[in-house]
Amino acid sequence: MIKTTKTKALSLSMMVSLAISGMANAGVTDKDILNDQMTTDDVVSYGLGLKGQRYSPLKKINNETVKEMRPVWAFSLGGEKQRGQESQPLIKDGVMYISGSYSRVFAIDARTGDELWQYDARLPDGIMPCCDVINRGVALHGDLVIFGTLDAKLVALNKDTGKVVWKKKVEDYKAGYSITAAPIIVKGKVITGVAGGEFGIVGKVRAYDANNGKIVWERPTVEGHMGYIWKNGKKTENGISGGKAGQTWPGDLWKSGGAAPWNGGTYDADVDLLFFGTGNPAPWNSHLRPGDNYFSSSRLALDPDTGKIVWHFQTTPHDGWDFDGVNELVSFDYKQNGKTVKAAATADRNGFMYVLNRENGDFIRGFPFVDKISWASGLDKKGRPIYIDSNRPGNPADSKDGKKGKMVTATPSFLGGKNWMPIAYSKDTELFYVPSNEWSMDIWNEPTAYKKGSAYLGAGFTIKANHDDYIGVLRAMDPKTGKEVWRYKNYSPLWAGVLATAGNLVFTGNPEGYLLGLNAKTGDVEYKFNTGSGVVGSPVTWEMDGEQYISVLSGWGGAVPLWGGDVAKRIKHLNQGGSVWTFKLPK
Distance CA 507, CA 527 (A): 9
Kindly report the number of other CB atoms within 10 A of residue 21's CB atom. Answer: 15
**DSSP characters for 152-189?**
SEEEEEETTT--EEEEEE-S-GGGT-B--SPPEEETTE
User: CA 308 to CA 218: how far, in whole Å?
Assistant: 9
Measure the CA–CA gap between 439 and 571, rounded to whole angstroms.
14
Q: Which amino acid is at 231?
A: K
> Distance between CA 472 and CA 457 in Å, rounded?
27
* The 3-state secondary structure of 477-531, one letter per residue: ECCCCCCEEEEEEECCCCCCCCEEECCCEEEEECCCCEEEEEECCCCCEEEEEEC
| CB proximity list for 60: less than 8 A, separation 6 or greater | 503, 543, 547, 548, 585
**Residue 3: CB partners within 8 Å, gap ≥ 6?**
117, 118, 119, 120
Residues labelled catalytic:
322
- Yes or no: say if 28 and 39 are a contact pair by the CB < 8 Å rule: no
User: What order of strands is seen across the sheet that includes strand 265-268?
Assistant: 265-268, 273-277, 298-302, 309-314
* DSSP per residue, 531-557: -SS---S--EEEEETTEEEEEEEE---
